[in-house]
Amino acid sequence: MINYPALKKRHFPDIVQTYVERDTMLYALGVGFGHDPMDEKQLQYVYEKNLRAAPMMAAVLGYPGFWVKQPDTGIDWVRVLHGEQSIRIHKPLPVAGTVVGKLHIKAIVDKGKDRGALLLQEREVFDKKSGELLATVDSLSFARGDGGFSEAGDNGPKGGDPAPPTPPATPDAPPDLVCDLPTLPQAALIYRLSGDYNPLHAEPAVATAAKFPRPILHGLATYGVAGHAILKTCCDYDAARLKSLSVRFSAPVYPGETIRTEIWKKGGHVQYRARVLERDIVVLSHGVAEVA
């Protein structure tokens, strides 16, 4: 069972991560940059000449690993799902350098005994040399087996913390822009080299045991592909124009499928969702991006 007081006070050691230009290019390849070899705007993210870092890479910097698996958390980690993800970019990401990730638990929400719990983590990513805050990364997980923890004695306030605001629903209108980006059959094998080595995305036997016909693409890779689509259609591939990107995960993607990102313009921001064309299924919903 979740120990609310202990989790809210849990100390996470700083994660110091050094990365080089090769890592920046590898991340970009994992989310589909470079698919068109004649597109020089894509090339700037996967080639050392005038290299730029994709803003979505903030999601993998200073990452503390799958810490909910540690036995002292009380979390039924097998039943934990990644529900939502957001990044806010404060400074352009360096193409190489050393960063420090500082994680804390922002909220723990008790939805009820049979409805699970929500776990909201916030990670701040700093440039180690300058001390500047580069990005704030929020991740919402759905702990399906941990509802009702606040009903057990003095284990936090009733209901836990207030639930975070619900992101805006997808507009009920045709999208203003559409961007189709294919993924490679080996996309998950490339993306995992950015730090997520969960065998679910590589081993057929593990995927089968998890009731999938084959390995699935990482949720954060799908998120990165949608961010790539927004950079392409709304920012003319200018990384400095993408200020924030948030989304809700709704279904897995299989490597090799085509991801269509549907975009609605809403003043200084856009709303978006993503679907897989081959199966006509929405894989990302409730997406919002701030575009300068």
Per the annotation, the verdict on 219 as an active-site residue is yes
Q: How far apart are CA 125 and CA 19, in angstroms?
A: 13
Residues 139, 31 share a domain? yes
Judging by DSSP bridges, how do beta strands 80-89 and 133-143 pair with one another?
antiparallel
Residues of the chain by 3-state class (helix, strand, coil), percent to 5: 25, 30, 45
Residues 219, 127 share a domain? no
Q: Residue 196: give the domain boundaries.
A: 177-291
**Tokens of residue 87, six digits:** 């990044």
Q: Is residue 159 part of a domain?
A: no
Domain boundary among 117, 151, 185: 151
- Determine which one of 32, 83, 160, 219 is catalytic: 219
Residues 36, 73 share a domain? yes
Q: Is residue 161 part of a domain?
A: no
Q: Is residue 197 part of a domain?
A: yes
Residues 265, 128 share a domain? no
**Tokens of residue 235, six digits:** 């920012």
Q: Which pLDDT belongs to residue 178? A: 98
Q: Which pLDDT belongs to residue 70? A: 86
Q: How far apart are CA 129 and CA 161, in angstroms?
A: 35
Q: What secondary structure does DSSP assign to 116-148, as a single string?
A: -EEEEEEEEEEETTT--EEEEEEEEEEETT-TT
Q: How far apart are CA 235 and CA 227, in angstroms?
A: 10
Q: Which pLDDT belongs to residue 219? A: 95
Q: What is the CATH number of the domain that holds 87?
A: 3.10.129.10
What's the pTM value of the predicted model, to 2 decimals?
0.93
Strand partners, 266: 269
- Determine which one of 160, 201, 228, 230 is catalytic: 201
Q: Is residue 210 part of a domain?
A: yes
Q: Which pLDDT belongs to residue 69? A: 84
Per the annotation, the verdict on 216 as an active-site residue is yes
Per the annotation, the verdict on 228 as an active-site residue is no
Q: Is residue 285 part of a domain?
A: yes
Q: Is residue 158 part of a domain?
A: no
Q: Is residue 166 part of a domain?
A: no
* Domain count within the chain: 2
Residues 183, 122 share a domain? no
Q: Which pLDDT belongs to residue 241? A: 96
- Determine which one of 216, 230, 259, 263 is catalytic: 216
The residue with tokens 């990513």 is 125
Residues 212, 108 share a domain? no
- Please state, as a whole number, how many other Cβ atoms lie within 10 Å of the Cβ of residue 238: 14
Q: How many helices and strands in the chain, by DSSP H and E?
A: 6, 10
Consecutive sets of 10 residues in the chain, 292 residues long: mean pLDDT of each? 88 96 98 94 96 98 89 85 95 98 95 91 97 97 89 79 90 96 97 92 92 95 98 97 97 97 92 98 97 93
Residues 48, 103 share a domain? yes
Q: Which pLDDT belongs to residue 156? A: 76
Residues 187, 145 share a domain? no
Q: Which of 176, 180, 196 lies closest to 188, judged by CA?
A: 196
Q: Is residue 168 part of a domain?
A: no
